Structure 1
Amino acid sequence: MPRAPRGTLSHKVILEHATRLMDAEGLEAVTVRRLAQDLGVRPMALYTYFKSKEEILAALYDGLLATIELPESPDAGLDGVRQIMREFFRLLTEHPALMKAGSGGQGDMRFGEVIYTLLLNSGIERRTAVGITASLVRFTIGSASVYQERAGWDAGYWSKLRASLRELPAERYPVMRSFGDDLPEFTQEEVFEFGMDRILRMGVD
């Protein structure tokens, strides 16, 4: 990975390198010592900008979360919530290790402020809004966490699965075997959209 040219170390340079390191080697690789080594500086140089590794990770998390484009109108409704969660899903699939770096800081507060505003302004009562938000976040994180290992879903996965289901013994797995003839196909994005819509229905059904 490229080193920072002499005299150019900054918050931005450190966080950009930390993000690349996280994506390439996982969150555990992001340490003050490793960042200093890769950037060609002494560890103490990083403490000029961040007090600790934890502060670097919190800033990394908040910075990436801030890239999510939020609806400008407080009346964007459930479509606005869908927009946010799609962006959150995209962010987590692009940076899988980010799921371990949640800070509960300003990024989360900004995120929550907009989602709760949209839900409450849609006429959803407060307890249901909390349940919807918690369910959406957990569902999105779960969907993103299996995204890479199921990357082959769109390349013949479903036809192979149907074939394997048809081989199941009918007396033991009658329902599963029946799906061998007409198992509906989903992309991972379609599964995500399906689940998100069902969760959001909690507030309107």
Structure 2
Amino acid sequence: MANRGWGPDVSQDVDDGDRVASGQGIERRAGALSRRAILDAATEMIDQHGLQQLTMRRLGTWCGVEAMALYRYVSGREDLLNGVVDNLIDDLYEDQLASRDAEDGGWQDYLQRVAHGVRAIALEHPQLFPAIATRPPEAPWVRPPLRSLRWMETFLATLRGFGFNREAAVGVYRSFTTFLLGQLLLEVAAHGAPLSPAMDAVDGGAPLPLDLQQYPNLLELAPMLAEDHSLAEFEEALEDLLDRIETNTHTP
């Protein structure tokens, strides 16, 4: 996400716990704050500093206001996180509607566009994607990452419009969301995103001090194993999923 001028310059010689609070805030006109502006600022802060650095106090400094000014628009950190996640998923929904051609390319094209849209979010916001995967959805049967009621309604209605019966449409929703979560959580973890508050991000550029002498195959193949083929693997797994859907549903 492009910087909107909310973020302060951050000193590099302060403690991680206070880094976000160390910069010069930007003075805002009275009334310039809004819920959307605050959620966008929180997204930028998380992208740059990680989810663990997000507090109302630090976000207030990031926005150039007292933390109490934020409570007019968000009730606290939980509301803030829910709003950030909902915004990203809502933006994906609007983008997919806007990109849909008048001449539809079929259900395969629809699923491919949605899959690549979710992947774009995961790669643009790797620190946030685990939250998209784990924040409680609107109902227990709504599955992340397509985690809103209107996403679920549109997804199921689109598939049924392509001729899927009720059972097949529900089955596709389950297998498709499982595929997206599994593939993309692995991918963002490989790029250093922590998958839980207790996990530290891994520096993908620093090789681990492993002694592979007793593992000759690993020693020989380690350079190949370290290559990044995530996009090709995503495409291959997505194509396999679409082929299985077509075989199982016998949809023209």
| Superposed structure 1 runs of 4+ greater than 4 Å apart | 71-76, 148-151
Which one of 54, 57, 64 corresponds to residue 81 of structure 2? 57
Partner of 1:18: 42
CA shift for structure 1 position 4: 4.0
Partner of 1:194: 236
The answer to whether structure 1 residue 70 and structure 2 residue 96 are counterparts is yes
CA shift for structure 1 position 107: 6.1
- Give the aligned length: 180
Give the direction of change, closer, same or farther, for the CA distance of 1:30–1:149 in structure 2 (3 Å limit): closer
AA matched with 2:178: R
Partner of 1:154: none
Give the direction of change, closer, same or farther, for the CA distance of 1:128–1:122 in structure 2 (3 Å limit): same
CA shift for structure 1 position 198: 2.1
Moved more, 120-129 or 58-67: 120-129
CA shift for structure 1 position 113: 2.0
CA distance in 2, matches of 1:28, 1:134: 30
CA distance in 1, matches of 2:39, 2:109: 32
Partner of 2:91: helix, strand, or coil? coil
Asked if structure 1 preserves the Cα contact closer than 8 Å seen for 2:27 and 2:65, the reply is no
1:10-159 alignment, distance < 5 Å: 10-68=34-92, 69-71=95-97, 72=100, 76-96=106-126, 97-101=128-132, 102-105=135-138, 108-148=148-188, 150=190
CA shift for structure 1 position 28: 2.5
TM-score (norm 2): 0.60
CA distance in 1, matches of 2:162, 2:147: 23
Give the direction of change, closer, same or farther, for the CA distance of 1:135–1:43 in structure 2 (3 Å limit): same
Give CA-to-partner distance per residue, 1:104-129, whole Å, 9 cap, x none: 24962232222212222222232332
Structure 1 or 2: more helix by fraction = 1
Give the direction of change, closer, same or farther, for the CA distance of 1:49–1:74 in structure 2 (3 Å limit): farther
CA shift for structure 1 position 38: 2.3
Q: Quick one: higher RCO (CA 8 Å, sep 6+), 1 or 2? A: 1
Partner of 1:6: 28
Structure 1 unpaired stretches of 5+: 152-166, 170-176, 180-184
CA distance in 2, matches of 1:42, 1:12: 17
CA shift for structure 1 position 204: 2.0
CA distance in 1, matches of 2:171, 2:26: 45
Q: How big is the alpha-carbon RMSD for the aligned residues of Structure 1 and Structure 2?
A: 3.2
Give CA-to-partner distance per residue, 1:5-61, whole Å, 9 cap, x none: 232322233112100111122223222222113223222211111122222212211
Give the direction of change, closer, same or farther, for the CA distance of 1:10–1:186 in structure 2 (3 Å limit): closer
Asked if structure 2 preserves the Cα contact closer than 8 Å seen for 1:132 and 1:202, the reply is no
